[in-house]
Structure 1
Amino acid sequence: MEDANARNGDDPDFSSKIRVSVRDYYCYKFQMRRGIFNPILHGGRLFQQFAVDMYIKVESSRLDYVRNNQKEIRADLYQGLMDSIQAGESRASAVGKRTVLPASFIGGDRNMKRRYMDAMALVQKYGKPDVFLTMTSNPKWDEITRELDPGQTPQDRPDLMVRVFRAKLEDLKKQLFEKHILGKVIAHIMLLSSRRGVCRTHTFC
């Protein structure tokens, strides 16, 4: 364990044979296993709260890693007293140390800007999209309802709904990009969003 920590520091997403990441650990805890009762999956709304809290833990670990490794992501180019002065800031109380999120951090400002610029580059090269395709999860899908235990509703098993949706999404991508059911795709952009507990994906072709 000491050797693994020495090689990879406190990176929360690193996994090896002797340790797993926080995300991998909770994915393991959420797994469905035949013949084995998992009390977490039978917690109803408490399970939903537990899943949200564990996601916050994973996200906090990633943010802590970014905060403690600013030199590695060259944050000195974006922070410091001179930057504040050059920006016209004269109040000492407003001059502080900024923590910069790398472009690889999903949901961060630089990540969103990079995705936007990539999308605009595709539009500039290939023109406006021809197809706007939306896929929405249906809690009454047979793949979901037949896996529910007696007394459970789809809302009690967000993990199951997400897994079924992801499987159907991958199948849709295969139909579009490999079997060309709507014609040959020369470029595409995918956006994943969640609203009111409904999983959606938008594809521009």
Structure 2
Amino acid sequence: MDTVIGGETSASNIGKRIILPASFIGGPRDMRRRYMDAMSLVQWYGKLDIFLTMTCNPSWPEIKKHLADEDEIQNRPNLVSRVFRAKIEQLKDDLFKKNLFGEVAAYTYVIEFQKRGLPHAHFLIILKQRSKMFSPEAYDRIVSAELPDPKESPYLHSLVLKHMVHGPCGLLNLNSPCMRQNRKCRNNYPKDFSAYTKHGRNSYPIYRRRNDGRSVIIRNYTLDNRWIVPYNAYLLAKFDCHINVKICSGIEAV
């Protein structure tokens, strides 16, 4: 098609069209089949409950100890991919065998590679009926969006600062990658303070972000709970990477 658009009129100079079957991983038929499978899961088991994103941490000791002195992390995709896959398998054990969030009825996930080469995974999880969450109190048992107490949980506090602080963006940094042309953050940070978790107008929860006076200095800016990305304390402490956990209220994420 590109050749015809370019002005070629002789079919013999073009070659023949090749139809990639669904068995070709990443082809259009394979991707459509996977999409239809995911939509069938939603149709059969109901709406999604949890959306989880896990991003590779290039500072994991399993990666660092296998790097030579002259190695750079972006030049070792084989090492990064192997370690990330091992971490993903550990995460799947926690979620689907140990039932960290409850009994799972169905799930689907996709692994993508960022422009800088680091892989990350997006999980969509549907819980069984007896494990579903219907109240803000149930959301708080899984998701937190606040700075931990640095005295009570110094390790968790350090991980939140390292992995789960957004920005700064907005008026603090107009050149942040998340800024749109209208000078607004596409992720809508900073969020509003909220004394407790509640349902928003669009049925998505508004997580508890109390104005408790806690703040941190990131890149010479003072940030508070409004800039914290939702996380699960257990998973963050175990995997030491950016691991965003959200409550789902729609099927758009599929």
TM-score for both structures, normalised by structure 1 = 0.52
Identify, as 1 or 2, the structure richer in strand: 2
3-state SS in 1 of match to 2:68: coil
Structure with larger RCO (C-alpha < 8 A, sep 6+): 2
Between the two proteins, what is the percent identity of the paired residues? 51
- Partner of residue 142, structure 1: 61
- Partner of residue 131, structure 1: 50
Structure 2: segments with no counterpart, 5+ residues: 1-8, 126-254
Query: What is the rounded CA distance, in whole Å, between the counterparts of 2:75 and 2:113 in structure 1?
Result: 17
Q: Report the residue type matching 2:78 in the other structure.
A: D
Shift of 1:155: 2.1
- Partner of residue 99, structure 2: 180
The alignment status of 1:200 with 2:120, answered yes or no, reads yes
What are the within-5 Å matches in structure 2 for residues 50-61 of structure 1? none
3-state SS in 2 of match to 1:188: strand
- Partner of residue 167, structure 2: none
Query: What is the rounded CA distance, in whole Å, between the counterparts of 1:156 and 1:108 in structure 2?
Result: 27
Shift of 1:156: 2.8
- Partner of residue 79, structure 2: 160
Pairing partner for 1:100 from 19, 32, 35: 19
Q: Report the residue type matching 2:102 in the other structure.
A: G
Q: Report the residue type matching 1:173 in the other structure.
A: K
- Partner of residue 70, structure 1: none
3-state SS in 2 of match to 1:183: coil
The answer on whether the counterparts of 2:80 and 2:118 sit within 8 Å (CA) in structure 1 is no
Large movers: runs of 4+ above 4 Å: 91-97
Identify, as 1 or 2, the structure richer in helix: 1
Q: Deviations over 1:54-83 (max 9, x none)?
A: xxxxxxxxxxxxxxxxxxxxxxxxxxxxxx
Query: What is the rounded CA distance, in whole Å, between the counterparts of 2:75 and 2:16 in structure 1?
Result: 43
Query: What is the rounded CA distance, in whole Å, between the counterparts of 2:70 and 2:28 in structure 1?
Result: 42
Shift of 1:150: 1.9
How many residues align? The count is: 115
3-state SS in 1 of match to 2:53: strand
Q: Report the residue type matching 2:83 in the other structure.
A: V
TM-score for both structures, normalised by structure 2 = 0.42
Query: What is the rounded CA distance, in whole Å, between the counterparts of 1:127 and 1:121 in structure 2?
Result: 10
The answer on whether the counterparts of 2:109 and 2:121 sit within 8 Å (CA) in structure 1 is yes
What RMSD over aligned residues (CA atoms) do the two structures have, in Å? Answer: 2.2
